[in-house]
Amino acid sequence: MKKPFFCAALCAMLLIGAAPAALSADGSASSKEILDHVDDLFRGESSYGTFSMRVVTEHYSREMKMEGWSRGKDYSLIRILAPKKEKGTATLKAGKDIWNYLPKIRRVIKVPSSMMGGSWMGSHFTNDDLVKESRMADDYDHEVTFRGDREGVRVIDLTLMPKPLAAVVWGKVVVTVMEKDFMPVGVDYFDEDMIMTRTMAYSDPKRLGGRTLPVRMRIAPTDKPGEYTEILYHEIEFDLDLSEDIFTLRNLQK
């Protein structure tokens, strides 16, 4: 199966690149410029942040507080701070590889390729989502398909169709942004039969790390009503001087 592009909501610590460029809202911005702006909104040469992740499924509900670091495009570390019974559980990403540390049994486990499609931390994100580095404007043909009022707000819809050789799973993606500042509002994902299978919603814009960001993000599968994973950022710092020693198997176990 081809792989999806990485969802920007998962964790700012996993999204690395240049800071977003300022764009004019006078209609002159191209669809590529808008998509690059959305892709780069959570990016930095390095980063540190804390966030909460709430997971609601048919069978359980759980909430965790985490912290994470990133460096370059290949390295990131996420560690659970709470609840107490899961404190210290951590995930290290290095290139295309992922390791999990389970403090209860004091073991580091590498995630095999056969498990990359499995749930990350019991959420609606997958292990494979963690290692995505592609950009929407590179993997999809794109165009503005709507510009106008929706529920009293001026928005822009961009419809993305996969390029023939792009390694993506989606048959179509629709990205919605605010017209005034290109802040993301939501993303709808469609399968190859053009059936919408999951949605991403962005809300609560606040000033963090010197940027205005939507600090609350929710991903929901359309075939499981009432289920979702929501991420709420508490703090983010970009472009820090982080040591390579942070992103080692030894540090993963600390």
Residue 215 lies in a domain: yes
Q: Are 7 and 189 in contact (CB under 8 A)?
A: no
Q: Are 180 and 156 in contact (CB under 8 A)?
A: no
Single pTM value for the model: 0.83
**What is the distance between the alpha carbons of residues 93 and 179, in angstroms, rounded to a whole number?**
35
Average pLDDT over residues 12-34: 62
The CATH code of the domain that includes 237 is 2.50.20.10
Residue 17 lies in a domain: no
Q: Are 60 and 54 in contact (CB under 8 A)?
A: no
- Between CA 12 and CA 137, with CA 184 as vertex, the angle to 5 degrees is 80
End-to-end CA, the chain? 36
Residue 47 lies in a domain: yes
Which band of pLDDT confidence, cut at 50, 70 and 90, is reported for residue 233? very high
Residue 98 lies in a domain: yes
Residue 239 lies in a domain: yes
DSSP conformational letter for 37: H
Summarize pLDDT for 159-170 with one digit per residue, the tens. Answer: 999 999 888 889
Q: What is the dihedral of CA 113, 114, 118, 120, to 10 degrees?
A: -30
**What is the distance between the alpha carbons of residues 27 and 48, in angstroms, rounded to a whole number?**
34
Residue 8 lies in a domain: no
Which band of pLDDT confidence, cut at 50, 70 and 90, is reported for residue 11? very low
Which band of pLDDT confidence, cut at 50, 70 and 90, is reported for residue 21? low
**What is the distance between the alpha carbons of residues 157 and 174, in angstroms, rounded to a whole number?**
7
Nearest in space to 54 (alpha carbons), one of 181, 165, 216: 216
Q: Which two tokens stand for residue 118?
A: 């499995």
Q: Which two tokens stand for residue 231?
A: 């991420």
Residue 18 lies in a domain: no
Q: Are 222 and 196 in contact (CB under 8 A)?
A: yes
pLDDT higher at 225 or 115: 225
- Give me the pLDDT at residue 26, please: 62
Percentage of the chain exceeding pLDDT 90: 63
Percentage of the chain exceeding pLDDT 70: 88
Please give the residue range of the domain that contains residue 193: 30-251
Residue 16 lies in a domain: no
Q: Which two tokens stand for residue 189?
A: 């994902």
Structurally, the chain folds into a number of domains equal to: 1
